[in-house]
Structure 1
Amino acid sequence: MKFNLENKVAIVTGGGSGIGRAISLTLAAQGAKVHIFELDQSKADGVIAEIQKNGGSAQAHTCNIAHQAEVKKEVDQITAKGSIDVLVNNAGIAHIGDVENTTEADFDKIYNVNIKGVYNCIHCSVPHMKTHGGVILNMASVAATVGINDRFAYSASKGAVLTMTYSLAKDYLEYNIRCNSISPGRVHTPFVDGYLKANFPGKEKEMFEKLSKTQPIGRMAAPQEVADLVLYLCSDEASFITGTDFPIDGGFIRLNGN
């Protein structure tokens, strides 16, 4: 079977909703034992139940990735029973604002989750991967490489994720640890629906169409499309790929304005 993850242990941060949910379900369907790190236990439990209903193996961990002690506790629990083969750093938060209206509190919040959270998970997992190799996949964004209005703090955080990816790939080549990142454009998740409902009441459909058309391909991505790329990069079929960022953006980076 292509993209077989049988007997692989995978951690997916933010695996209880949106893109993370699709990733968790997809990896489990290919045989991985999935550990979901989530702040919201109920969301994680829902995904776990769906995985188990389909015959897969999964476990939920209530964890704030911004706190290293919490991450270490959960990683230690997993590695007490085996290895970590795959780490998908998917959890992240968004922020809208330029440098002037981004408060210090806003910036610190973005930093603690989107940068420090990724660092915490890698810092705690890499020592266990060094014994047998593994895969680290980080969720970056088109905002890491392209200027987007009112995304100052978010863009800075995703730029850090992108360069952390390159550094890790270089540092851990000799340990057979591959590290890549994915840079999605707009993806239709519950977050998008919530944002439109909160900010454009009564005009959700109109604004959804407008946001969709900012992707040259004419629509947003589905979470499953991102999850399928994650599956490939985490599988042995991608064993020759490391230190690379993969845009999945409907042409946003290269085709806008052309």
Structure 2
Amino acid sequence: MTQPYVKQTIENEVGYIEFFHPAHNSLPGDILAKLAQIITDAGNNDEIKVIVLKSGGARTFCAGASFKELINISDAETGRVFFSGFANVINAMRKCPKFIIGRVQGKTVGGGVGLASATDYCMATKFAAIKLSELNVGIGPFVVGPAVERKLGLSGMSQIAIDANSFYPAEWAKQKGLFTQVFESSEELDEAVKAFAENLCNYNTEAMKEMKQMFWKGTEDWDTLLAERAQISGRLVLSDFTKETLKRFK
């Protein structure tokens, strides 16, 4: 079994940030903290002009938060800290002065949909179905909600949040504006991401920085908003409903 990691490589001025966890890329708190830090550092690194966010493995982009950690939450503060994991990564992506291109090779769930939504331009394969499954365990997509709603609109976000059992196909996510292009294979996706990212490096970095700020206008309160949302999830995860549901999953 491969060990979890977050790593960065730089190639032709593109910073590739890759995360991995053997449990379908479901991310525990320590990996999320590393990811937020690496994105922040890449934003300040003059050797990098454009960032690509990707995950290791072939089948799943990100299965959301670590289920193992979720099951072990026993008080509201631990819950708040746990749900702040994805909040901190989304905020790091939002504040990063560089464009972040998403490379989504497979299914993505919960927090993973939040990460894809927080990229500035997201490309995927036809296998990249999305799902917000939080309601299934008695919580809701509170932390990722603002990022997902910003990309899919309230209508699209509420549809997948309420229909928490269903995977929505990559083509649906493309129609709603989450994915810009959908490819037949990971190989085609990788070629397109590389070409697109390297081409962006030819543009004026100052112009891209200003554009990024423009695109994210109106989200200045997200530090506070996502922290409040993490508190809601942290409270709900202690409910009898969720405790009973999680017991079944054990």
Q: What TM-score do the two structures reach when normalised by structure 1?
A: 0.31
Q: What TM-score do the two structures reach when normalised by structure 2?
A: 0.32
- Which structure has the higher relative contact order (CA within 8 Å, separation 6+)? 2
